[in-house]
Structure 1
Amino acid sequence: MQSILTRALIAGFLLGGLACSRNPVTGKREVILMSKEQEIAIGQQSHPSVVASMGLYEDKKLQDFINEKGKAMAAISHRPDLPYQFYIVDSPVVNAFAVPGGYVYFTRGIMAHFNNEAEFAGVLGHEIGHITARHSARQQTSQLLGTLGAIGVAIAVPQLGESVMQGAQVLFLKYSRDHESESDKIGVEYSSKIGYNAVEMANFFGTIKRIQDNAGQAVPTFLSTHPDPGNRLTRVQGLAKEFQAANPRQYAVERDRYLRMIDGIVYGEDPKQGFVENNMFYHPVLKFQFPVPQGWKHQNSPEQFQMGAADGKSAMILMLAKGNSLDEAAQTMVKELNLKVLENGRTTINGNPALVIISQQQPQQQQQGQPQQQQSAQNTLQLATWLIQYNGGIYALHGLSSAADFNSRLNSFRSVAENFRALTDREKLNRQPERVQVVQAPRDGSFRDVMSALNMPSNRLEELGTLNSMRADDRVNRGMLVKVIQR
């Protein structure tokens, strides 16, 4: 008991020494472990990684638009002194996110799905709200203090330790949901203050819910870091109407102006970044191709292409290697990945010089006082790496599995690597992306009738409806602007 009291006194001393500051949004005093300067530094350090992993979407008129609205909103926010910056990243995913210190990002996917300026302004306000309310700093502090508390209970009452830690994890999810709800409220306030109808922000949550439902992505609300979009729609509608009743004025929507601005935006995956078709990955810009094993899942980004077996026991990653020669690339890889080389040799893959390296990742150095993990075939990562010199660059194609499964997976890895070759098919090399085209409805009728009149395929009606925030039977008047998808 004396030991427990001693620990409690030490914890109290540590917590008591933490600085309290007043939250700029809520006005409440709270413990925060991150200074304003640290927030700005995090944003500056994170930005290059965001750009490297997603790329920027180059569209001057859209960039000018988000800069104009972002600066206007930053000026009326609770923290106008931050160096805000706004970017559109080259991703088809419907998303927006913020990094501490004033960095706000919209994907081209979400820009394509907005149907007016007011929807955009609501999401912009939501993301700026995460920054002004210091949610990242508060989350970091809550996690640290919550973990300290859980560890303290686990020490005092060991039999409760596991359940307490699980409870702490659920609590952290709750913190995140609370932050999302707080940012929704801030988004209503900020977008309204720069003149937009925040009811449209609520309506965009209907689009998000529809995307989730169509993709089968819904999870129970109590296990999600974001509140359910349907619940958010209802709540934000109420907040918007409440704000407007207290602050009567004309609130803008600006549907047509926004739609004309996104006319021609790239929709979905951009082939120039690489695409998979008929179990083959093609990269038109870098001019190579290689097979994707049947049934494997895959994910592409500007930095690397990843694919994995359905059973989760093996994967392959393609990326650029570091080095000006095959030998230099091999030495750098072995050092950076902490590998123990088991075999290596030179070969040629479809006319391209290559190195083949079989290796295992060595265990990390254990910190003093921590027990050494017992190494086994099940917990040892084994790699088959092909370093391929092609078209002025060196590509690393890694096959990964546990050492226990490696021999049974090696033939799959080899089949992929040995079929890495130049892409010469002109149709693949010249593949163009799909784009959102904004056109006038040629007739009165239902949304379904209008899409049919515009020669849109019937099997994409729900996708087009989500993109336009319309249902199949919704009324469309002749001359009304609508989005279609064309290559």
Structure 2
Amino acid sequence: MRTLTSYLLIFFSVFIFSNSCTVQKSPVSGNKRAYAYSWEEEVQIGKDVDNQIIAQYGLYQDENLSEYVKNLSEEILANSHMRREDTPQKYSETEFTFRVLDSPVVNAFALPGGYVYVTRGLIAHLENEAQLAVVIGHEIGHVAARHASQRGLTQTIGQVVAVGGAILGQEFLGMSGENLLALSSQAAQLLFLSYSRENERESDELGVEYAAKTGYAAAEGAEFFNSLKRISENSNQSLPTFLSSHPDPGEREQTIPRKAEQWAEEGYEQTIYDAEEYMSQLNGIVYGNNPRQGFSEDGMFYHPDLEFQFPVPESWQVINQAQQVALVSPEQNAVMIFQIDSEASNPEQAVRNFLSNNELQAETQRSTQSSGQWNAYVANTTAQGEQQDLGVYVYAVEFGGNIYRFINYSSADQYSTFEPDFEETTTEFDRLTDQQILNINPVRLSVIQTDRRARFSDLLPSSLPMDIQPEEIAILNQVQLDEMIEAGTTIKIPTQ
């Protein structure tokens, strides 16, 4: 439960930003303008939501890589509008936080007040420090231009974007998208705020400027945006969240080098690529979903690190998150949410606490066992919803020093249809004993130098792990499958 699946799940969440506004000076333009929040409020919002982001995605556990990204980011920040001689003190003294998230999705985003995130999936798809510098600069640009606070004055509908495979509406049987994903409404409002294309173009320009003034070859940023376009085309999905409201990638391939050239004409040498150092950081990085943090296969969900398993009903969608696992029925009319209950000391307390906290009365409840040996407790109840009543099945089980809780529900009139699925999944929760699964390792990138001149496709191993396709690896290396690769070229190959 410490990672996310690699498909996109979009929940539409309607929200209203604060009606109040404040007039303050922009760090970028120096002019006064209206914002939805004061800078002090933005800093506090970022601090509050940061904890939820860590819980939602998880941090990638590689101290060297995290420090590497932080140091590079601080260099870019030093050349941004947040750190200049004429920058107002409240901005220049704001501490920024840079994090690497444990997600395979190619993504980067920022929170108000100085919180910038990149995923390991994004890092794996870059070729050098210069490309990362432009991405980091772009996100710093969002913070410096205070785009979230600008949009907060007018935007009342935001997209809550998380990782998964189905598309649900604003409410899922009475449970909002952000609740299903364990996000607060504030996180939903600000983390997944949809910027305007004007905002995105400004951040593109700022990203190029900050990278160029740090000495990086800022035109390299165009290569990364071309990769994003190829990822979208290869997966037959919409653009990754990093591009959800951004200008067309083809446009950026032209504008980014042009903006970089303008800064070169002003005397800013852009000579830093640092491909060798960057590639050394990628050697061994986890690629794709990490099966040790949970995966589904052949009708079962397995968690090798926590050594448990439970069945998944046929055709149900599995959404594996850092905090929970959600199972969604094919018609999206029933859901099971599986979490660790860190507050309860036993299964009965976990069930009773849930009922009490939600002001529900159990219609039936009893002690039981999962797979005939793990102490468990179950209750059934009906919850009143605004549009329909819900049939709710709450089940908790004690295993491996943890209390695990399932919250399963459907509309009350369909509850009898789904109750057998609820019972099978919960009562067959069991210890994972398959040694092959217990010993499974994630796919990692191996950085190698080619020993001959050949087409890229000919340099790939005869079989790739985890159903990875050759085109994916070509995109990962920012080359074409039929492209001739010179001897001595550094490439990334997934291994397991």
- Give the TM-score of the pair, scaled to structure 2: 0.82
Superposition deviation, residue 229 in structure 1: 2.6
* Counterpart for residue 295 of structure 2: 275
Counterpart position of 2:376: 354
1:96 aligned to 2:108? yes
Partner of residue 412, structure 1: 421
Q: Give the superposition deviation at 1:103.
A: 1.1
Is the Cα contact below 8 Å between 1:116 and 1:259 reproduced in 2? Answer: yes
User: Cα offset for 1:107?
Assistant: 0.9
Pairing 1:312–2:332 present:
yes
- Provide Cα deviations, 1:387-434, integer angstroms capped at 9, x if missing partner: 111122111112221112111111111121121111111111111100
Matched, 1:143 2:155: yes
Residue pair 1:338, 1:362 contacting (<8 A) in 2 also: no
- 2:24 paired residue number: 21
Q: 3-state DSSP class of the match of 2:234? A: helix
Work out whether residues 340 and 362 of structure 1, in 8 Å CA contact, stay in contact via their aligned partners in 2.
no
Alignment match of 1:43 (pick from 39, 42, 46) = 46
Mapped partners of 1:173, 1:434: distance in 2: 32
Who is 1:54 aligned against? 57
Gap change, CA 1:286 and 1:38, over 3 Å in 2? same
1:202 corresponds to: 222
Alignment CA distance shift 1:469-1:28 (3 Å): same
Which residue of the partner structure matches residue 149 of structure 1? Answer: none
Output aligned runs, 1:287-366, within 5 Å: 287-321=307-341, 322-350=343-371, 351-363=373-385
Cα drift, residue 18 of structure 1 = 4.7
Task: Tell me the secondary structure at the aligned position of residue 400 of structure 1.
Answer: strand
Q: Indicate the percent of aligned positions where both proteins have the same amino acid.
A: 36
When residues 141 and 246 of structure 1 are mapped into structure 2, their CA distance, relative to the original with a 3 A threshold, is same
For residues 422-457 of structure 1, what are the alpha-carbon distances to aligned partners after superposition, in whole Å with 9 as ceiling and x for unaligned? 1111111111100000011121011112225x7658
Equivalent residue number for residue 248 of structure 2: 228
Cα distance in 2 for partners of 1:174, 1:52 equals 22
Corresponding residue number in structure 2 for 1:187: 207
Change (3 A) 1:19 1:423: closer
Match of 2:162 in 1: none
Q: CA deviation at 1:227?
A: 2.8
CA distance in 2, matches of 1:61, 1:69: 12
Partner residue in 2 for 1:368:
none
Question: In the aligned structure 2, how far is the partner of 1:73 from the partner of 1:51?
Answer: 23
Q: Quick one: which amino acid aligns to residue 326 of structure 2?
A: Q
Contact 1:467/1:483 (8 A) holds in 2: yes
Of residues 235, 238, 249 in structure 2, which corresponds to 1:215?
235
How far did residue 173 of structure 1 move?
Answer: 8.7
Contact 2:348–2:367 (8 Å) recurs in 1:
no
Q: In structure 2, what residue type is equivalent to 1:267? A: Y
1:137 to partner: Cα distance: 1.1
2:147 and 2:199 in contact (8 A); partners too: yes
CA contact (8 A) 1:98 1:131 kept: yes
Does structure 1 retain, via aligned residues, the 8 Å contact 2:310–2:425?
yes
Q: TM-score, normalized by length of structure 1?
A: 0.83
Query: Given residue 71 of structure 1, which amino acid in structure 2 is its aligned partner?
Result: E
One-letter amino acid of the structure 2 residue matched with residue 398 of structure 1: I
1:285 Cα deviation from its structure 2 partner: 1.5
4+ runs deviating over 4 angstroms? 172-175, 454-459
Question: Greater share of helix residues, 1 or 2?
Answer: 1
User: Does 1:253 pair with 2:253?
Assistant: no
State the one-letter code of the partner of 1:122: V
The structure 2 residue matched to 1:33, chosen from 30, 33, 36, is 36
SS of the aligned residue for 2:155 comes to helix
Alpha-carbon separation, structure 1, partners of 2:257 and 2:359: 54
- Considering only CA atoms, is the larger Rg found in Structure 1 or Structure 2? 1
Partner residue of 2:435 out of 415, 420, 426: 426
Q: Deviations over 1:188-220 (max 9, x none)?
A: 101111111111111100111111112222379
CA 1:247–1:340 in structure 2 vs 1: closer, same or farther (change >3 Å)? farther
Greater RCO structure (CA 8 Å; 6+ sep)? 2
Secondary structure of 1:70's partner?
helix
Whole-angstrom CA distance in 2 between matches of 1:403 and 1:290:
25
Write the letter of the residue equivalent to 2:404. Y
Contact kept, 8 Å, 2:450 with 2:491, in 1: the verdict is yes
Q: 1:119 aligns with which of 123, 131, 145?
A: 131
Residue aligned with 1:404, SS:
helix
Q: Does 1:237 align with 2:240?
A: no
Query: Partners of 1:18 and 1:399 in 2: how far apart?
Result: 41
Q: Secondary structure at the residue paired with 2:469?
A: helix
User: CA, structure 1 residues 280+175, in 2 after alignment: closer, same or farther (shift >3 Å)?
Assistant: closer
CA offset at residue 291 of structure 1? 1.2
The Cα of 1:246 is off from its aligned counterpart by 3.1
Paired residues of 1:442 and 1:450 also in contact (CA < 8 A): no
* CA 1:477–1:424: 2 relative to 1, 3 Å: same
Q: CA deviation at 1:381?
A: 2.6
470, 476, 483: which one aligns with 1:461: 470
Q: Distance in 1 between the 2:73 and 2:240 partners?
A: 33
For 2:358 and 2:205, the matched residues in 1 are separated by 45
Give me the whole-angstrom Cα distance separating, in 2, the residues matched to 1:245 and 1:434: 44
**CA offset at residue 274 of structure 1?**
0.8
Secondary structure of the equivalent of 1:141?
A: coil
Instruction: State how far apart, in whole Å, the 2-side matches of 1:343 and 1:92 are.
Output: 42
Quote how far apart the aligned CAs of 1:33 are: 2.7
Q: Is the 8 A contact 2:46 2:111 kept in 1?
A: yes
AA aligned to 2:423 is R
Counterparts of 2:300 and 2:156, CA distance in 1: 45
1:65 aligned residue = 68
Question: 1:224 deviation in Å?
Answer: 5.0
Contact kept, 8 Å, 1:273 with 1:301, in 2: the verdict is no
Structure 2 Cα separation of the partners of residues 408 and 57 of structure 1 = 40
Say if 1:390 and 1:175 are closer, same or farther in 2 by CA, change over 3 A.
Answer: closer
Q: Is the 8 A contact 1:439 1:483 kept in 2?
A: yes
Residue 79 of structure 1: CA displacement? 1.6
Distance, in Å, in 2 between the alignment partners of 1:27 and 1:386 is: 57
Paired residue type of 1:414: E
Secondary structure at the counterpart of residue 392 of structure 2: strand
Amino acid at match of 2:354: M
Task: For residue 341 of structure 1, report the CA deviation from its aligned partner.
Answer: 2.4
In structure 2, list runs of 5 or more residues that go unmatched: 1-17, 84-91, 158-191
Q: Distance in 1 between the 2:416 and 2:281 partners?
A: 54
Counterparts of 1:166-177 in structure 2 under 5 Å? Answer: 175-177=195-197
Q: CA deviation at 1:337?
A: 3.3
1:78 aligns with 2:81: yes
Distance across 1 between alignment mates of 2:70 and 2:491: 26
Number of aligned positions between the proteins: 433
